[in-house]
Amino acid sequence: MRKHQNISYCSFLFTIGFVMLLSCQNTSPKLEGSSIIIERKVDSLLDLMTLEEKIGQMTQVRHFSDIQKGDVASKYIGSVIHTDGPLPGEDALGWQAKFVELQKEALSTRLGIPLLFGVDAVHGQNTFSGATIFPHNIGLGATGNPDLVQKAARITAIEAQATGFNWVFSPCVAIPYNEKWGRVYEAFSESTELTRAMTKASIKGHQGYLLDRTTVMATAKHYIGDGSTDFGVEGGNTTLTDNEITERLLPPYRDAVTMGVGSIMASFNTLNNQALHAHKALITDTLKTKMGFDGIVLTDWKGYSKYGKNDIINAGIDMVMAVDGDLELFQQGLKKGVEQDSVSQDRIDDAVKRILRQKYRLGLFEHPFPDATLVSKIGSSDHRNVAKQAVRESLVLLKNENSVLPINKEAGKIVVVGEHANNSGLQSGGWTISWQGKPENYKGATTILEGVKKISSSKIVYDKNGTGKHFDAQVAIIVVGEKPYAEFFGDVNNNTGFTLTLSKSHQDYIKAYTEADVSTVVVLISGRPLVISNQLKQSDAFVAAWLPGSEGDGIAEVLFGAYNFSGKLPHSWPESVNDFQGRFGPNFWDDTIKPLFDFGYGLNYEAIVKVN
């Protein structure tokens, strides 16, 4: 067991118990009263519903791609998901208008039950061009600052509401075991304790007081074992023992439930070859019964056709992402299951109650439409300042020799190298504007090069492809890293082409400038620790910058000493690709593999040099 996981199980249980005690003590008579009222409303509404209306509530569709006009009303749809990119040519009010149109359709039905609108806002409202985009969770993990994570989630909630959403599929509370997994960056850390702290902060920030129209329902995902599959395969098989699940993976979910998280998404992976979507023991017995979760358990993408159809409902799934052709299959299949007694009416009622409960908690029956006055807050300077603070605090200084950092702002000539230095799409990774992200600048974002130009009075030259040979420069800031990816596209294997090392051309950028004796600062943009042992030796300074999001200029502020480094590694850092031979290795270290840098490593300036 690694050092940071050395907390004993007893002290863990004690902490959980203490948190639960506190949360019970905090339950005011007023809140108890309001939840009794909500339960009464849920029961009365449920009594009025037909089977078709109940199954409709359990259905989530992708707007416009999965439905025709009129389907929301005629199929009694309960929720709409938006995933990929902007709707062309529309501003935030345009987005709101689309959702208003669908909401009106839902409200026109006999019982007028409003829709939940969900979005993958996993680092800010990242599907909207012009929104404030935060560092991905791995960077937030590096800040070690739960208050900041809470603020980031609060802002994400406001910007999500401003674009028409009342539900986000975030935070991802995975504990990644292997850097080969393409979703390492979506999780806060390999440490259960750090993940717990960030999970609590994130849910508090997103949900706050749910009735407030600037908050959203959050989703803890993906339940459970998403990040611990053998060899880091997205949606693969996890072979952990019950004890490992309980001690390492469940604690963030316990915290999420204690914090009142509104929904939990089931995971694509199997556990000891059993699909999580159909895992009754973990969904119903553990999550709902033992842990007392009273919110919605949602499938992942096409969960119905992919994982055992009605078995998943019997296991405890409450809402189905009935996308990409699953709509009729789900609605008819479940109806048949109930008629033939293979799914009980009680199970359906339990699912629908959970969905209605959250709709009441969100205040959707009173305020079903988005608030148009929130639009001015999207990408506001207040929001961007918090995101920039997160960028600064996420940077982890791995090496600083020969006094290269902080860079003197009057250094003479500075060369900034690499396409990642001036491309906000590359610096933001997957889940940015579009699902897989794109190597293109997007609205409102700043880049590292822009930050350098802003802060330094030196002559700044840009060598995009590392072939400019500006060997007369006093300092080279070389920005290298990964291309954007999301989900299985980012797994390290022969099909995706992703490796755990830098590309040959990026290695050459560093080689060229270091061999020419230019002082070099390497900035690594990546969704996971990469094997960079040789490049680390070559360079004078090395910074892990993760995937900073829209405020790239925040990086320059730290490189030039306007702020100190404070980030600490949220993952142990691998030394060699050979460390990845094992099933889990080496991220979730067994003690036979020695990391290059331990979890929690991070240097800083001894004295802070104020440049402004």
Q: Would you please indicate which residues are annotated as catalytic (active-site) residues?
A: 300, 487
Say how far apart CA 64 and CA 99 lie, in whole Å. Answer: 11
Give dist(CA 241, CA 156) in Å, integer. 36
- Between residues 167 and 563, which has the closer beta carbon with respect to ligand BGC? 167
CA distance 184 to 448: 23
**Distance between CA 347 and CA 338 in Å, rounded?**
10
User: Closest CB to ligand BGC among 267 and 519?
Assistant: 267
Q: Please select the residue that binds ligand BGC; options are 95, 117, 165, 169, rule is CB under 6 A.
A: 169
Looking at beta carbons only, is 395 or 486 nearer to ligand BGC? Answer: 486
Backbone angles phi, psi at 603, to 5 degrees: -90, 170
Tell me the two tokens of residue 573. Answer: 């850092």
Q: To the nearest whole angstrom, how small is the minimum distance from the Cβ of residue 180 to ligand BGC?
A: 17
- Residues 188, 194: contact at Cβ < 8 Å? yes
Structure tokens at 389: 């603070």
Across the chain, how many H-helices and E-strands are there? 21, 17
Binding to ligand BGC by residue 489, rule CB under 6 A? no
Window 534-563: residues binding ligand BGC (CB under 6 A): none
> Closer to ligand BGC at the Cβ: 85 or 600?
85
Least Å distance, CB 250 to ligand BGC, is 19
C-alpha of 511 from chain center: 34
Q: Which two tokens stand for residue 324?
A: 């990409």
> In sequence order, what are the residues at sequence separation of 6 or more whose Cβ sits closer than 8 angstroms to the Cβ of residue 548?
135, 139, 391, 394, 427, 428, 525, 554, 555
Output the smallest distance, CB 169 to ligand BGC, in A.
4
Residue closer to ligand BGC by CB (options 79, 514) is 79
How many CB atoms neighbour CB 556 within 10 A?
Answer: 26
Dig out the tokens for 3 from the structure: 């050092």
| 83/161 with CB nearer ligand BGC | 83
Q: 268: closest CA among 195, 172, 347?
A: 172
64 neighbors 327 (Cβ within 8 angstroms): no
Instruction: Say if residues 242 and 282 touch (Cβ distance below 8 Å).
Output: no
Which position among 59, 60, 79, 83 is part of the footprint of ligand BGC (CB under 6 A)? Answer: 83
Residue 190 found at the interface with ligand BGC (CB under 6 A): no
By rule CB under 6 A, what count of residues binds ligand BGC?
7
Nearer to ligand BGC, 170 or 446 (CB): 170
Residue 488 CB, nearest distance to ligand BGC (Å)?
9
CA distance 85 to 89: 12
The residue (of 253 and 509) whose beta carbon lies closer to ligand BGC is 253
394 makes contact with ligand BGC (CB under 6 A): no
For ligand BGC, which is the closer residue by CB, 266 or 397? 266
From candidates 66, 120, 318, 553, binder to ligand BGC by CB under 6 A: 120
Provide, rounded to whole angstroms, the least separation between the CB of residue 453 and ligand BGC.
Answer: 37
Per CB under 6 A, 301 contacts ligand BGC: yes
**Measured from the CB of residue 42, what is the shortest distance to ligand BGC in angstroms?**
26
What residues from 235 to 274 belong to the interface with ligand BGC (CB under 6 A)? none
CB of 221 to ligand BGC, least distance (A): 6
Q: Which H or E run includes 138?
A: helix 137-143
Closer residue to ligand BGC, CB minimum distance, 83 or 436: 83
Q: Does 487 bind ligand BGC (CB under 6 A)?
A: yes
Instruction: Verify binding: residue 221, ligand BGC, rule CB under 6 A.
Output: yes
3-state DSSP of 230-242:
HHHCCCCEECCCH
Crossing angle of the two packed helices 29-48 and 345-361, in degrees rounded to 10: 130
Cβ neighbours for 398, distance < 8 A, ≥ 6 positions apart:
536, 542, 543, 544, 573, 597, 601, 602, 603
Rounded least distance, CB 60 to ligand BGC, Å:
9
Say if residues 239 and 230 touch (Cβ distance below 8 Å): yes
300 binds ligand BGC (CB under 6 A): yes
Per-position DSSP letters for 73-117, written without gaps between them: HHTT--EEEE-SSPPTT--HHHHHHHHHHHHHHHHTSSS-PPPEE
CA atoms of 575 and 128, how far apart (whole Å): 38
Q: Binding of ligand BGC at residue 463 (CB under 6 A)?
A: no
Distances from the Cα of 536 to the Cα of 43, 355, 523, 532, angstroms: 62, 51, 11, 6
- Work out whether 180 is an interface residue with ligand BGC (CB under 6 A): no
* Residue ranges in contact with ligand BGC by CB under 6 A: 83, 120, 169, 221, 300-301, 487
